[in-house]
């Protein structure tokens, strides 16, 4: 697993937009639970703090940083959805055609962790999902035998 934590200032007056974007994303995931599947995420967490002036984005994913960023740009560009990062100070407005600017922003706002722990460090999200499906199928089969 790989991951990063990005902390950046929210543009003046945009905290509610950030919050609503998060609510909208949660709703979209209810409709399509596989919406973010190309990102190979294990975990995603967003936090507004310091009186809604700063934003923290934490993500744990299977791919390396560059692949995750490329996939994020492709996903948002393909779907026509903009990124929440547009509401952060210093984020390039031309991010869809300027992946280097996107990467530069993320690298400049990355806060390296000094400890990380993963309960399943050697398994991808896809392998975990597959294992859970197999477990469910075996449980159903055993229930039918009783």
For residue 105, the model assigns a pLDDT of 94
Q: What is the pLDDT of residue 79?
A: 66
Per-residue tokens: 115: 């400890």
- Burial tier of 33 (Cβ tally within 10 Å: 0-12, 13-18, 19+): exposed
Q: Which residues pair with 44 in a beta bridge?
A: 59
Residue whose pair of structure tokens reads 């399943």 in the numeric block:
120
- Following DSSP, what letter does each residue of 11-71 receive, concatenated? PTT-HHHHHHHHHHHHHHHHH-TTTTGGG-EEEEEEEEETTTTEEEEEEEESS-HHHHHHH
Whole-prediction pTM? 0.78
pLDDT tens, residue order, the chain (146 aa): 778 899 999 999 999 999 999 998 888 889 888 888 777 777 889 999 999 999 999 988 887 788 888 888 888 777 666 789 999 999 999 988 888 898 899 999 999 888 877 777 777 777 878 888 888 888 888 888 88
Q: What is the reported pLDDT for 34? A: 82
Nearest to 52 by CA among 29, 23, 18: 18
Assign 44 to helix, strand or coil.
Answer: strand
| Strand, helix or coil for residue 98 | coil
């Amino acid at each position: 697993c790989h991951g990063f934590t990005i902390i950046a200032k929210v543009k003046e007056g945009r905290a509610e937009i950030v919050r609503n974007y998060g609510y909208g994303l949660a709703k979209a995931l209810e409709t399509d639970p596989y919406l973010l599947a190309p990102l190979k995420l294990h975990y995603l967490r967003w936090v507004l703090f310091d009186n809604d002036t700063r934003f923290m984005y934490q993500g744990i994913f299977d791919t390396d940083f560059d692949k995750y960023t490329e996939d994020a740009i492709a996903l948002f560009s393909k779907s026509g959805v903009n990124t929440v990062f547009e509401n952060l100070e210093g984020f390039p407005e031309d991010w869809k055609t300027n992946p280097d600017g996107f990467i530069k922003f993320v690298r400049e706002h990355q806060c390296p962790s000094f400890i990380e722990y993963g309960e399943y460090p050697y398994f991808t999200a896809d392998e975990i999902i597959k294992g859970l499906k197999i477990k469910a199928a075996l449980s159903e089969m055993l229930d039918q035998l009783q």
